[in-house]
Amino acid sequence: MSNTKVPSDQLFDAQLPASLAEELPPYTPFELMDSDVLAQTQAHASHSTAEIPVLLPTDMQTYASAGTVVAHQLLAPTGTVSFTLESMAAASVTVRSADTDSYNGLLSINAKFYSQDSSIGDLDASMINATSNTDEKAGNTLICIAMAPAHIDRQVGVECEIVVPLVANLEELILRLPTQTRLEIVNIASPMVRRLDVAMIAGTVRLANTSASKIRIAVADGTIDAHKVTVTNATEFIAISGQVTVSQCALGKMCRFNAPRANVSVCNLSADTVSMQCTQSTLLVRKATAKTVLVNSNCGSVTLDNINAESLNVRTETAPIRGSWSVSRSLDVVAQSAIIHGQVDIGGMDTRVFAKTNDWPLQLSVNKEYEGSFGIRTVNGVINFGFDNAVVYEQTPNWLHGVVGTGACRLQAENTNSPIVILPR
């Protein structure tokens, strides 16, 4: 391998097929203020009192063992660690917490290489380039493991384990992984790793029982599965195609889903702001709590069930919108040409509800306690407003305007060439 240093993001982008490289959003880390730094520091102070030996990071050791090749390194568990795998036919990577105070409180990286090509025979250490460079002043370590140039076409896989000690205080763990990778991150609790950044060409990422200040997971083609993940600041899930599944997660101040052609399934999610961008995929959310929810979709389907938010904003082109929504400030549901069918619980004293579509039915079931004004407009359609206590101020074939009770809420609906039905629930 050349000694020329290449930024890890360029290493990742260079391996992408041209079609995916154009679509993968650029890496733009969140710049939110770490308001929880003090809390993390206090938590770390009581986390564990085990002392970390004052040792410089060891060099990466690579050697042949029983017909295979092993690479091993110990690091002081502080600063930033960037780990890159290249040119491997397959990879399995596990990031986990130490079961005990093994390795004297140091961060351990173990990689075992195996042949997927019977013509290779026993592996030799010269087939693997494993380099490690540490900037001791900045506390940053860059580790890169790849096939040696002369053996780049060999089918070699790797099983890698990164063991994080309980006393670790890593600022950031950066993983750049190739195609056909299985990554599992389990039982990593803040402040062991404050920021986690993963980019993978194709494969599977699984996070479980993990907490951090910031998490970013990007997979060009594959699966992201997050279960019982807690984030205090910002979270981002990117999948060009494949599947994103999130369950029982509290994802901090901002949570972003960017899934152009990847199906997204979410259950029991909480965050201050949730943003979901799905271009040609299915979005299913069951039970989410947030201050603000933003959804943008083109031609997939959007189902948002049991959403509790101050503000909910949904925009689609031809993707149907269905679900049940409880809002206290505002609800905006707009489709260019798709069905809208939802149950709405209006919980505020001055809540604004706006729904609009064309060529497809628009039906809302609103809690019967609703009080406020309503304005319904249609062209070549039928209006059915089912509140018996409504006082109608103006009614024409295209317009219905009036009030229900004495409240200050506002309800507006628009449709063309299709009926509008608004009934009490």
Does the structure show a pLDDT above 60 at 38? Answer: no
| 134-170 tens-digit pLDDT | 887 788 999 999 998 988 888 899 999 999 999 999 9
| 196-219 tens-digit pLDDT | 999 999 999 999 999 999 999 999
Instruction: Say what percent of the chain tops pLDDT 90.
Output: 69
Cα separations in angstroms, 397 against 156, 327, 377: 72, 30, 9
For residue 125, what pLDDT band results from cuts at 50, 70 and 90?
A: confident
Scan for tokens 């040119």, then name that residue: 87
d(CA 130, CA 151): 14
d(CA 420, CA 162): 57
Domain boundaries, the chain: 1-251, 317-425
| 394-422 tens-digit pLDDT | 999 899 999 999 999 999 999 999 999 99
Does the structure show a pLDDT above 50 at 21? Answer: no
- Are the C-beta atoms of 38 and 121 separated by less than 8 Å? no
d(CA 350, CA 372): 8
Helix (H) or strand (E) holding 393: strand 390-396
- Pairing mode, if any, of strands 399-404 and 372-379? antiparallel
Model pTM?
Answer: 0.84
Does the structure show a pLDDT above 80 at 312? Answer: yes
Does the structure show a pLDDT above 50 at 9? Answer: no
